[in-house]
Structure 1
């Protein structure tokens, strides 16, 4: 049973049944289609998620909700097919429980519903980076294309050298 959430928040209960190296939750307001992984969502609302906890609850304010929230978790050892992803949106009074694309990460939502139906098919055939495997297979990038076409989420302002964060957001680097 999903606990009742205050109507002024989205409640996200996460149960990690596998171990994860990276786990984050972003409230998406802009997209940057020149990037992949977390950087696709440009300047987003970041919510603390602890990879060491088996169970945790996040409470997200709906005072100024983003276009969507996106939960991403990369397993140990890394395996693309076991990456967990869940896109969801504010939906007062609705609840949902299920897995975040894979069986290792269970999620319960209150005052929210998952966004389904996006994937590699969401990327336009003529998208500049579509030929790149890193971009085409990035589920964050796929969802960003869906947001652009279904929710009119704006593009982030152009990136400049002064915007570089030496620590940077957590991203999986392929070598």
Structure 2
């Protein structure tokens, strides 16, 4: 089981959530791009999480914090998966965190599907949640909501 052994927030997060992710919707950004549900024990303005917090079984997890002043440079983004015997340890200016039986997934923009019209919108392309959703969309077995591309709106009618 995945367990957050300790988590102390060194920054104030107006919006704070831990999401259990099973799929993606690239038609939207922020939390809604990650299909799933939030852990009700995690909410804004918390200074720490309860120790030894056991998480539900999920394919992917995402811990996100939005800075109280909406300074994007101070936002918190920790994407991870279950990995028995591994640990995530983060100790920086924003958070002191240890997650057992998990491996961090580092968000990378190289997976963005630049053919999607949303990718030309800065609200989407700079959103770490949407970037992570694009990473998951590149996997063959992750459920996705229909996108404009899947509807064939950008297919060449001559081919």
TM-score range, shorter chain: 0.7 to 0.9
SS of 2:116's partner is coil
CA distance in 1, matches of 2:56, 2:62: 15
Mapped pair 1:73 → 2:61: no
Q: What TM-score does the superposition give when structure 1 sets the normalisation length?
A: 0.74
Indicate the residue corresponding to 2:114 in structure 1. 125
Indicate the residue corresponding to 1:115 in structure 2. 105
CA distance in 2, matches of 1:29, 1:139: 17
Aligned residues: 143
Indicate the residue corresponding to 2:31 in structure 1. 38
Indicate the residue corresponding to 1:55 in structure 2. 48
Match of 1:22 among 7, 15, 28: 15
CA separation of 1:52/1:152 partners in 2, compared to 1, >3 Å: closer, same or farther? same
CA distance in 1, matches of 2:46, 2:64: 15
- Give how far 1:157 is off: 6.8
CA separation of 1:33/1:111 partners in 2, compared to 1, >3 Å: closer, same or farther? same
Conservation of the 8 A alpha-carbon contact between 2:23 and 2:136: no
Unaligned 5+ runs, structure 1: 1-8, 159-175
CA distance in 1, matches of 2:16, 2:120: 27
CA distance in 2, matches of 1:156, 1:29: 12
CA distance in 2, matches of 1:50, 1:123: 29
Indicate the residue corresponding to 1:172 in structure 2. none
CA distance in 2, matches of 1:36, 1:50: 19
CA distance in 2, matches of 1:156, 1:79: 30
Mapped pair 1:146 → 2:141: no
Mapped pair 1:103 → 2:93: yes
Q: What TM-score does the superposition give when structure 2 sets the normalisation length?
A: 0.81
Match of 2:144 among 141, 155, 159: 155
- Give how far 1:39 is off: 0.6
CA separation of 1:14/1:60 partners in 2, compared to 1, >3 Å: closer, same or farther? same
- Give how far 1:114 is off: 0.4
